[in-house]
Structure 1
Amino acid sequence: MVASLARVYGMEHLDTILDAVQDTFETALTHWRYHGPPEHPRAWLSRVARNKLINALKRTSRYSHVDEMEIQLQGVSATDPDPVLTDEESTDGQIQLLVACCH
């Protein structure tokens, strides 16, 4: 999830991405405890993480074209586990993230 978000929104926002993903898992633990897991948990996690990241980036106003990206992603199905990336692109993003973190 971190790699997908970093690939779309940029490595310069890695701290914000990590916070959004952490907050997403915390939200999942709380929400799923009372309501049970959703039908598509991976899609739910991806959607919530992306929404939390967009909200955080809007609050900081450092990312001027978030609204444009948000509009482009609105047509994506909520059940698609990773609507932005194919499996190959996701793996590439994970490798790029690993290299970036090691430097």
Structure 2
Amino acid sequence: MKNSLVVLTVLSIVSSLALAGNGYCDSRPSRREQQDCYQNAIESNVSLIKQNYQFLMASPKLTQQQKQQLQNDQAAWGNKVDGYCNGNLMCLYESTASRYMYLAGMASRK
């Protein structure tokens, strides 16, 4: 039950953040400003993803097996996003926001 509540909370936060980010960037007056907004948001999310990933990899609470699984998951996520989004900034933003929230959730439990 507790895990279900955490998952639902994280999913609702991710959805809210994605919608808020999309609305903010989409409200920019020009296409170029919209693209710049998404690019900046993506770069921020990537930085946060790296920080959470490094925090988790340095955590003594994770076993070597868990760290290896996290490493594999991170690589698989990167490959999937590259292929799926194919440079679409909104897709990249939503994917990085989702991944950040996933890793932040893991870090908060460790």
**TM-score w.r.t. structure 2 length?**
0.33
**TM-score w.r.t. structure 1 length?**
0.35
More helix per residue = 2
Larger Rg: 2
